[in-house]
A and B are shown apart, each in its own frame.
Chain A
Amino acid sequence: MKTLAELQAIRDKMRQQIDLRDASDDRIRVVVGMATCGIAAGARPVLNALLEEVNKRDLKNVTVSQTGCIGVCRLEPIVEVYVPGQEKVTYVKMTPEKVASIVSEHLVNGRVVEEYTIGAAE
């Protein structure tokens, strides 16, 4: 059985790591559409998979966040990736299975997974 007191151990570990974080200017932002359309289409497991993958790979320069309706409801779940200095990349019809390759290819190695982008879907 877990207890909330276990969070103190996480806090102590994270306090040591906090200085290792990159400056906010060069962080990669990954944004998941979590409006009605996104949630109904399956955004919750996609966001979960992203958080798990980013944590597993210990990607300190990546921020995962949520937003409202991105505007192309029929292509939800949608994930947008903002790499500083580069054009935004929009991944559509996302699934938890697609998340692993986007994290390893795009977020780690810097190669856009073209086949999952809005350009390939349209």
Chain B
Amino acid sequence: MKEIALYALDIAQNSITANASRLDLTLLETPEAITLTLADTGKGMSPELLARVSDPFTTTRTTRKMGMGLPLLRMAVEQTGGSLTIESTEGVGTTVTALFHPTHIDCPPVGDMGDTITLLIQGAPQLELRYTHTVDEACFQLTTEEIRAQLGPELSLAEPEIILWLKDYLQEQEMLLREHKGMKA
């Protein structure tokens, strides 16, 4: 994958498949590290599955014998000298933490987090999502709870008009974070 944002979108699909009601997606950028964390309240994994989960020939689905999401992410972080940590408790949830070293030549760019978040909401409008993006001291946060507070209960967050508005909104906010980073540099 070409962007960290695409890994985030991919790994978040695992939370949705695991019937998570909540997902905290956090991206923390400092000069030393880019840390992507996905913490969900899905069904979690048994210690046996957790031990094998980075193996590309491990999957919970029954249609095929491969699952490439976590192995690809592990490879991407390790290529930068970083690490992937997965904590999981059955019946409680899973937390995936991916640490990239941004100064390494193989570190992918963060990419379009705005697109990732809007499409995540479009694909799972019922999910309670909290997105936090911190660049040095600047921080932006968006929750689906505050979006629902504006829209009321009867409208689905997956409506194209709402999604496209959110996309513009997030792009604006992400750009402000980038400008902050640019000013510091």
| Chain A residues near B (Cβ < 8 Å) | 1-2, 4-8, 10-11, 14-15, 18, 34-37, 39-40, 44-45, 47-48, 51-52, 54-55, 64-66, 68-69, 71
Contact = CB atoms under 8 A, between A and B. Distances in A.
Nearest to A14: B155
Nearest to B150: A7
B160 interface: yes
Given A51-B122, A66-B123, A40 B151 contact: no
B122 A66 contact: yes
Given A8-B150, A11-B152, A71 B64 contact: yes
B50 to A, nearest CB: 19
B137 interface: no
Contact of A48 (B13, B115, B151): B115
Q: Interface of chain A, helix or strand or loop or mixed?
A: helix
Given A5-B150, A34-B123, 4 more contacts: A7-B150, A8-B151, A39-B6, A52-B160
B64 A39 contact: no
B28 interface: no
9 contacts: A2-B168, A2-B169, A4-B146, A10-B151, A35-B13, A51-B164, A64-B122, A68-B17, A69-B64
Contacts of A2: 165, 168-169, 172
B119 A66 contact: yes
Given A66-B123, A69-B63, A44 B115 contact: yes
